[in-house]
A and B are shown apart, each in its own frame.
Chain A
């Protein structure tokens, strides 16, 4: 065990954790932020995606030690009032069915829109191929990302 401070959603969390611990464990069990989900544990499904210095890492295979000194953003911190264009679009299109994978979906989509504000369907497929939805909401996800791109454009924001 070691003393590690994680900056999650702009707040410092001094944690007592094994440096080898998956970041997901620290986020959920030590910091108490339950929005990020455990899906497969082997970086295959994308349910655990969080932002680490802006990149959509899979927290189930990312060690806590990698996150030390960096900025972690989870679904709870994507916006303060659930007003991120992707979150608004998800509500508008009513994307989720069971919802389990959607914190990961939204975090991946946010990175896509930051890097490609007007994505094509191919861009969306390329960016979201690693986020699996067992309910098969893929078409609504795609539609919502296009909607989010429009909202982002109107708001004059970027990701």
Chain B
């Protein structure tokens, strides 16, 4: 009994000390915060992206069938030789990608591809920037499933370090637009550029969801 009483006294003292110490720390903290002169925490903003997986995946169907059409895919081959024609056969003469995507030695893209399309059936189409993606970032479309391509398109390590803003801007890139001006003897992509752009932006702004397959 006596022993219990002594133990109770021993416990009470630290509890009391801890309470006093806590009150002291609280007072000091409140006092100190009153003299802070740094900016308040910024107001939390919520992303304006409307994350809608159904809308996003539906939009990507249009994006995917466009990007896999010969006018887009032919310059995004799985190998290092560009593709050609509506059947996406290997480019005649077998020109190679090269490090910068602009060909090699005497076989550079611009040796044949001029700044504009050349008149005549199946003549070389033209654009001032005609090239494949560079060797360090091949941006392959050929053979990719919708799921794989969607993931790749928003991966900065595989898309030329483009964020969502740059990806949206890319819809109006000169070479992208060239797909809708392919020269005589070549079919157009399956939708108009305006329809593609709308689907592209919808897909990106609704969360850039990848289809399951």
Contact = CB atoms under 8 A, between A and B. Distances in A.
Chain B interface mostly = loop
B104 interface: yes
Contacts of A127: 104-107
Contacts, number: 66
Contacts of B120: 42
A105 to B, nearest CB: 10
B123 A49 contact: no
Interface centre among A42, A55, A108, A126 (most CB of B within 10 A): A126
Interface residues of B, number: 20
Contacts of B110: 55, 57
Contacts of B108: 55-56
B106 A56 contact: yes
Contact of B123 (A56, A61, A126, A128): A61
Chain A interface mostly = mixed
Given A55-B111, A56-B106, A129 B94 contact: yes
Contacts of B124: 42-43, 61
A107 B107 CA distance: 12
Task: Give 8 nearest A-B pairs by CB, closest first.
Answer: A108-B106, A127-B105, A56-B106, A43-B112, A130-B93, A111-B106, A112-B105, A127-B106
Interface of A: 42-44, 49, 55-58, 61-63, 66, 107-109, 111-112, 115-116, 123, 126-131
Given A112-B105, A127-B105, 17 more contacts: A42-B122, A42-B123, A42-B124, A43-B123, A56-B105, A56-B108, A57-B111, A57-B112, A61-B114, A107-B106, A111-B105, A112-B106, A123-B105, A126-B107, A129-B93, A129-B95, A130-B111
